[in-house]
């Protein structure tokens, strides 16, 4: 699991032509308790989280991708792999971590997922962030981290006490029309379009002044190199579990997007993504990429508070972003 203060300017420098939880649960092979016939509740969720902290923390510190895959699945695994590649490039060791005073939202029957929120303790020091996570049960019966987003202390009151009610299905808690509208709006907001609808998603420093502002800087860098960049969404997925709170529904939206960089009108190729650019570092590419156009696939995860009252805007409480693949065309 990657634990770092998120910096939301994309930072891609593309140069034109320059190269630049108790009970009687069994323990699975992955080290996390498997679901058993005796039921699964908060105590078992706490056992899963404790086993995850021990195993995944060690894997992160060791920078071991295979060990990480025993405790995580995508999209969380994508972000963690990017984190260990950054650490390797900068010759640093990722710190160990522990979730402190966790709260859980577990479905009432046949749980295939559960949610957790907890303060992170990183190498003995308490983090300024709260970690919001979803764990899912795999076909083998063990539990793995599927999502995690770091939430600032200012946004923590919006999460509330997850244990106040059972987890529910995201697709049942948030209607299909709202899900489609929210995904479309968030795509627009991450690219700082002029058609931002703050009545649908409230304005926030994290989304609009940091993440979207990073996109604007990115576009300016591309324009200076006589390049254009366009982002398209390939798919949007909602987390299996959601939590109902007095302020609305807490849910996680994962967007798979592609950023395509190509020569602008009048510009000349090739497009080059240097080895020292942030995305190449996160992907473990050490030679850079060159082609008529370059596409970077990425995964973005948003923790949303979707109000029950119609007409009230959703809020982005946290988000993460990681590149997953680079291709040329």
Measured on CA atoms in the order 98, 42, 68, 241, is the torsion positive or negative?
negative
Mean pLDDT of 79-87: 95
Give the pLDDT band (50/70/90) at residue 171.
very high
Mean pLDDT of 102-106: 96
Closest by Cα among 320, 327, 325, 296 to 6: 320
Mean pLDDT of 16-43: 46
pLDDT at 9 over 60: no
Please write the tens of the pLDDT for every residue from 46-61: 999 999 999 999 999 9
Higher-confidence residue: 29 or 230?
Answer: 230
Give the pLDDT band (50/70/90) at residue 185.
very high
Contacts of 174 (CB under 8 A, 6+ apart): 182, 238, 242, 249, 251, 306
Question: What is the average pLDDT score of the chain?
Answer: 86
Domain boundaries of the chain, sorted by first residue: 15-20+22-328
pLDDT value of position 3: 60
pLDDT value of position 28: 43
Distance CA 209, CA 173 (A): 29
pLDDT value of position 124: 65
pLDDT value of position 5: 38
Mean pLDDT of 286-311: 92
Measured on CA atoms in the order 43, 49, 55, 57, is the torsion positive or negative?
negative
pLDDT value of position 62: 95
CB 49 within 8 A of CB 99: yes
């Amino acid at each position: 699991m990657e634990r770092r203060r998120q910096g939301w300017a994309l930072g891609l420098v593309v140069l034109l032509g320059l190269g630049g939880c108790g009970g009687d649960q069994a323990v699975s092979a992955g080290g996390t308790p498997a679901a058993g016939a005796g039921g699964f509740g908060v105590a078992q969720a706490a056992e899963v989280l404790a086993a995850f902290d021990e195993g995944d923390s060690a894997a992160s510190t060791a920078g071991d991708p295979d060990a990480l895959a025993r405790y995580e699945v995508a999209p969380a695994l994508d972000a963690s792999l990017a984190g260990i590649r950054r650490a390797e490039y900068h010759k640093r060791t990722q710190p160990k971590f522990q979730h402190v005073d966790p709260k859980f939202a577990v479905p009432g029957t046949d749980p295939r997922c559960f949610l957790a929120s907890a303060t992170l303790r990183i190498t003995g020091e308490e983090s300024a962030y709260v970690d919001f996570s979803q764990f899912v049960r795999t076909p083998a019966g063990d539990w793995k981290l599927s999502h995690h987003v770091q939430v600032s202390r200012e946004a923590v009151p919006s999460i509330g006490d997850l244990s106040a009610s059972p987890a529910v299905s995201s697709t049942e808690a948030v209607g299909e029309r709202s899900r489609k509208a929210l995904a479309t709006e968030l795509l627009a907001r991450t690219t700082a379009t002029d058609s931002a609808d703050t009545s649908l998603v409230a304005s926030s420093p994290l989304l609009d002044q940091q993440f979207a502002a990073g996109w604007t800087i990115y576009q300016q860098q591309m324009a200076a190199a006589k390049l254009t960049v366009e982002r398209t969404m390939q798919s949007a997925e909602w987390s299996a579990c959601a939590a109902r709170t007095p302020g609305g529904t807490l849910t996680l939206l994962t967007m798979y997007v592609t950023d395509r960089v190509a020569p602008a009108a009048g510009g000349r190729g090739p497009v080059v993504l240097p080895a020292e650019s942030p995305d190449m570092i996160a992907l473990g590419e050490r030679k850079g990429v060159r082609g008529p156009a370059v596409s970077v696939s990425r995964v973005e995860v948003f923790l949303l508070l979707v109000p029950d009252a119609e007409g009230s805007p959703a809020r982005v409480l946290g988000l993460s972003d990681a590149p997953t693949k680079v291709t040329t065309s």
